[in-house]
Structure 1
């Protein structure tokens, strides 16, 4: 008897340990906000079909890098998952159900598929919150093999990783220690929060403040005192005309982050909100 794939509950997630936070389940929970009729079981079954197709092939080789090469070949060459370069900021690239359906995604959603397939086959693949594009990493004898899910799982050497990090580090290439730190495995919570930050950014850019507020709200379900998410939800509430919510969130943001660069303008907004003179547009 097939057991249906159950989704977690938003109200429980803040208290769940990072290691216990379900990656696929929470990604589908994020997608269900936008697709209320989403059938989680369908996507778990779709993922498991990738796993079953690969099992014999992966079991027939000994080394993890060779096992991973077989997984990448199947996902990217045979099934056709690929990075959506043409419409990179399409929100569908962040919703995992759409990634399964369209075989298109952004770096983090494609990494999520890779990670789930690999781990179900016993391969300890992790995500890497690399600056710019999200990556994945696999332990090997002399260190880690780093791969780019947006480019068909292509391996990246140290030189390329340093060059990719440079624009995000004031033009400085990271030394060995800094690069090692950047390549630390991302927790499930960090991965899911990055998905939600991407969605917030897309919706804010489009002035879709209801969805921007929702994305920030979901971030706060994962990490209730996340200062940036409080600010983002408060500013989205302002745009929506929900002044009480804006006042509460911005006040909490300033309490958590009193020396923030934007604290001055936000304090002025709070004063206006409290005096009832705030205009939202």
Structure 2
């Protein structure tokens, strides 16, 4: 516990790392080199740097892909210490339940009487899972900002992590389409439709595929 307190003091006070509350959706918050330079980031990027420092001083801190807010965990003899990467504070069972509650789908008949099981949400996150979550954060930002070139590069990385994933193929196809690459877009969309012929967006994508075929013929 003493070593954890010293690490918190070093990371948050001496080095000055903190959440970028003034520009939370800046893409730079997800690029580690930018976070290291600015000392500002989001929970998951701060956690990655924090966990690396922790490993160097013998603290086996692991990431937790908690809904809505990435967390960290240190297991000690008395139990688990769950840590908020934004400030290093330890979160109580009650605080974790309050954070989790908005993401739980409960029926009106269940109300709030049903006991929340936190354990499934506090498992150690695999490095691939952490990287995937970091990339998906950027994906949302690039999609909303219609930044198609960086989105395409990001989709390529997501498909390295999850080869032939239909959702990622579909979204890469969308990026290709916006960048006027009809054949590449068509290939990804058709792959998606092959895997998910009855998806909710299947009809719209079939219509888009017809337009992409026409665009491909014009190029030929």
The 5 Å alignment of 1:150-229 reads 150=86, 152-170=87-105, 175-177=115-117, 179-229=118-168
What is the match of residue 17 of structure 2? 81
Q: CA deviation at 1:213?
A: 1.1
Q: Is the 8 A contact 2:183 2:216 kept in 1?
A: no
Q: 1:111 aligns with which of 28, 47, 63?
A: 47
Q: Is the 8 A contact 1:200 1:213 kept in 2?
A: no
| TM-score (normalised: structure 2) | 0.88
SS at match of 2:90: strand
1:139 aligns with 2:75: yes
Segments of 5+ residues of structure 1 without an aligned counterpart are 1-64
Q: CA deviation at 1:210?
A: 0.6
Alpha-carbon spacing, 1:258–1:66, altered in 2? closer, same or farther (3 Å): farther
Residues in 2 aligned to 1:163 and 1:262: alpha-carbon distance in whole angstroms: 34
Q: CA deviation at 1:271?
A: 2.9
Alpha-carbon spacing, 1:175–1:257, altered in 2? closer, same or farther (3 Å): farther
SS at match of 1:149: coil
Residues in 1 aligned to 2:78 and 2:12: alpha-carbon distance in whole angstroms: 27
SS at match of 1:164: helix
What is the match of residue 192 of structure 2? 253
Segments of 5+ residues of structure 2 without an aligned counterpart are none
Q: Is the 8 A contact 1:72 1:153 kept in 2?
A: yes
The 5 Å alignment of 1:60-99 reads 65-99=1-35
Alpha-carbon spacing, 1:224–1:119, altered in 2? closer, same or farther (3 Å): same
4+ residue stretches of structure 1 with deviation over 6 A?
171-174
Aligned length: 212
Alpha-carbon spacing, 1:261–1:146, altered in 2? closer, same or farther (3 Å): farther
Q: Is the 8 A contact 1:119 1:125 kept in 2?
A: yes
Q: CA deviation at 1:176?
A: 4.6
Q: CA deviation at 1:175?
A: 4.1
Residues in 1 aligned to 2:202 and 2:130: alpha-carbon distance in whole angstroms: 28
Alpha-carbon spacing, 1:260–1:126, altered in 2? closer, same or farther (3 Å): farther
Q: Could you say which structure has the greater relative contact order, defined with CA pairs below 8 angstroms and 6 or more residues apart?
A: 1
SS at match of 1:97: helix
Alpha-carbon spacing, 1:139–1:260, altered in 2? closer, same or farther (3 Å): farther
| TM-score (normalised: structure 1) | 0.70
Alpha-carbon spacing, 1:93–1:270, altered in 2? closer, same or farther (3 Å): same
Q: What is the alpha-carbon root mean square deviation over aligned residues?
A: 2.1
Q: Is the 8 A contact 2:182 2:216 kept in 1?
A: no
